[in-house]
Amino acid sequence: MVAGADAKRHAAKVVRRLKKRYPDAHCALEFDAPWQLLVATILSAQCTDTRVNIVTKDLFAKHSDVADLADMPLPKLERAIQSTGFFRNKAKNIKACCQQLVERFGGEVPQEMEALVGLPGVGRKTANVVLGTAYGIASGVVVDTHVGRISRRLALTENQDAVKVERDLMDVLPRKEWIDFSHRLIWHGRQVCQARRPRCDECSLLDICPRVGVEY
C-alpha cells in the first residue's frame, strides 16, 4: 500500500479522475424522505438497488410515514419485502427501527451517527448512507463491496474489514470528498471495475492503478 503523503497524492489523483468520469454520480436508491432512505438501505443488504426500488415504490405508496410502517403487521411486512432476501430479519429490524423512530425521535431520523447506529438493523454503512445522502453530513465513507474491492485494487487500503477500509479512506481523502467518492466508486464498480472481469482497457484510472489482486 502507498504510504503517508504519497497516499494522499495518489488518492487525490483518483478523486480527480472519478470526478471527471462520473460528475453526476449519486445514490441509486429512490426516496423522498430520510426515513425512506433508511428503510431502503436496510433492504439493500444482499440485494440490488434495482430490486429495492421496485419493492419500496409500492411499500412507500401504501405506507406514507414512519408511524404507519411501524404499525404494519410483521407478516404483512415480510410479504411486502420478501423478494429482497433475508426478509424475516429485515422486516423485524425495519419494524423495530420505525417504532424507535416514533417513540424516541418523534418520527424523525436523527442526524447523529451514535443515535443512528443505536437503531435496530443500522450499522456504520447504513448510517453513513443516510447522513451523507439525506442530510449532506460527511460522517464517514460508505464502504460496500464495490468500494472495498476497488479501494484494495487501487492500493488505497490493504484491509478486508469494512470499518478498517473506511478508516484508511478517511485518512487519505479530504472530508469534503467522503460522500461523493463512495457514489463514484460504486458507479465505477458497476460499469467498469467489476469483480470477476474488470474492464481495465476501458478504465480512466488505468495508468495510476496498481491493480492489486487483479489477474491479467
Q: Reply yes or no on whether 6 is catalytic.
A: no
Amino acid at 195: A
Which ranges constitute the DSSP H helices of the chain?
4-21, 34-43, 49-62, 66-70, 74-81, 87-105, 113-117, 124-129, 135, 145-153, 162-172, 178-191
- Long-range (24+ apart) CB contacts under 8 A made by 173-179 are 173/11, 173/15, 173/141, 174/15, 175/138, 176/138, 177/15, 178/132, 178/138, 178/139, 178/140, 178/141, 179/132, 179/133, 179/136, 179/138
Residue 144 annotated among the catalytic residues of the structure = yes
- CA of 186: how far to CAs of 7, 104, 130, in Å? 21, 33, 16
Point out the catalytic residue in the list 125, 168, 171, 176: 125
Q: Which of 144, 168, 176, 180 is flagged as catalytic?
A: 144
Whether the CB-CB separation of 183 and 191 falls below 8 Å is answered with no
Supply 81's cell numbers: 419485502
- Kindly report the CA angle at 40 between 129 and 98, in degrees rounded to 5? 95
- Show which residues are catalytic: 125, 144
